[in-house]
Amino acid sequence: MSNVAVVGAQWGDEGKGKIVDWLSERADVVVRFQGGHNAGHTLVVGDNTYKLSLLPSGIVRGGKVSVIGNGVVVDPWALLDEIARVTAQGVKISAGDLKLADNACLILPLHRELDSLREDAGGGIGTTRRGIGPAYEDKIGRRAVRVRDLADLATLDARLDALLAHHDALRRGHGQAPVDRAALRAALIEVAPKILPFAAAVWEVLEDARARGQRILFEGAQGTMLDIDHGTYPFVTSSNTVAGQAAAGSGIGPRGIGYVLGITKAYTTRVGAGPFPTELEDETGRLLGERGHEFGTVTGRKRRCGWFDAVMVRQAVKVGGIDGIALTKLDVLDGFAELKVCVGYDINGRRLQALPATAPEQAAVRPIYESFEGWSQSTRGARSWADLPAAAIKYVRRIEELIEAPVAMLSTSPEREDTILVHDPFRD
């Protein structure tokens, strides 16, 4: 039996929601370990659709312990809103079900304001304006307010002094008035008794679960190519999104993670600015977006669409230590006469087998494609290899070769049962 980390292997939005929901039914504990409420998972459970941003997917299953790890930056008001929304859908959430790391850093209104000021000033990268980046900056700058600080007014006052000394200077540079310290302090004092019942030393929760042989599912947000270190910098998120962060972002040792499952679509999408070698700005790209319902769970922003990029996914496999992939949305490709997969990049006549490190070079690469015969039969709802047309199987097998990782799961619709299981990650 193995604990499993689930990460995106593209630029996020790979369909992780369905996969983590499928796996969470088999898990005892589900952990979010990075990001904030700038990313989301859509779960379809029976007749109910749940849109989660901070809450781990296990929360809708009942009988699971759901953990928000220290690697997550938490907007307490957004968390309470999400709890209220999910509760209104009939999900019961208690302090026994949900554990919030007491050493997680908070996103405050001043972070959201700074995020928007920077985007509006020009040169933005298309953030969600939810304060994620500025909150991580304060974490690294050792001036953040953490969950545990809400429990002691003297500590909270000291943290606010350190925080506002920095932010008031930034705000002056943007022509803004200083933060209303009294209002912010009052808001935090008001929210504290609503948040603190969920606070816990989650590393102890996870160590106890590990010692008792429970199955732990680590649920990542965004994707590998948005990783602050390994992604298409500077067009990236503000946290590490690779599987290695599951350990640091939750307080479990790296040996506690036995299997890494990478999620990737059968084509490629991206939200926001940044390089996208296989992007299709034509009718094919429009059709992929229309068939795949390519709009962000959190923001509703339209996703850019393109052919599958095997070079990028292979890079994600190597960097993230991915053992196997879950290939999603194969059914979106039904009916295309011809499919293409990027098998290399050309830059000024040189062939590359990985994305270059700098943004100008990333923007300059051109895809080298391998073409495949499409299929006219529907793959939607297929639950075994026998249900797939031969051309679809050939496409999947070639992807395995190109990315140098096996397909462990194959998803053929948003419905959780429409999944071909090749290898159960929990039984590694």
Which residues does the annotation mark as catalytic? 13, 41
If you compute the radius of gyration of the chain from its CA atoms, what whole number of angstroms results?
22
d(CA 396, CA 61): 31
Question: Concatenated DSSP letters for 286-342?
Answer: HHHHHHTT-B-TTT-PBPEEE-EEHHHHHHHHHHHT--EEEEE-GGGGTT-SEEEEE
Q: Are strands 338-347 and 366-373 parallel, antiparallel or unpaired?
A: antiparallel
Separation between Cα atoms, residue 225 and residue 9, nearest integer Å = 7
**What whole-number distance in Å separates Cα of residue 232 and Cα of residue 239?**
13
CB-facing half-sphere around the CA of 323: CA atoms within 13 A: 19
Cβ contacts of residue 350 below 8 Å, gap of 6+?
A: none
Residues 6+ apart with CB under 8 A from 131: 36, 75, 107, 108, 109, 110, 111, 112, 113, 114, 115
- Residue 314: both structure tokens together: 């292979």
Q: Using CA atoms, how far apart are residues 395 and 403, in angstroms rounded to an integer?
A: 12
Number of helices followed by number of strands (H, E) in the chain: 12, 20
**Residues with Cβ within 8 Å of residue 124, at least 6 apart in sequence:** 118, 273
As a 3-state breakdown, the chain gives helix, strand, coil percent values, each rounded to 5, of 40, 20, 40
Q: What are phi and psi of 260, to 5 degrees?
A: -115, 120
Q: Distance (Å, rounded) from C-alpha 5 to C-alpha 16?
A: 11
Q: Name the residue among 274, 273, 332, 324 with its Cα closest to residue 307.
A: 332
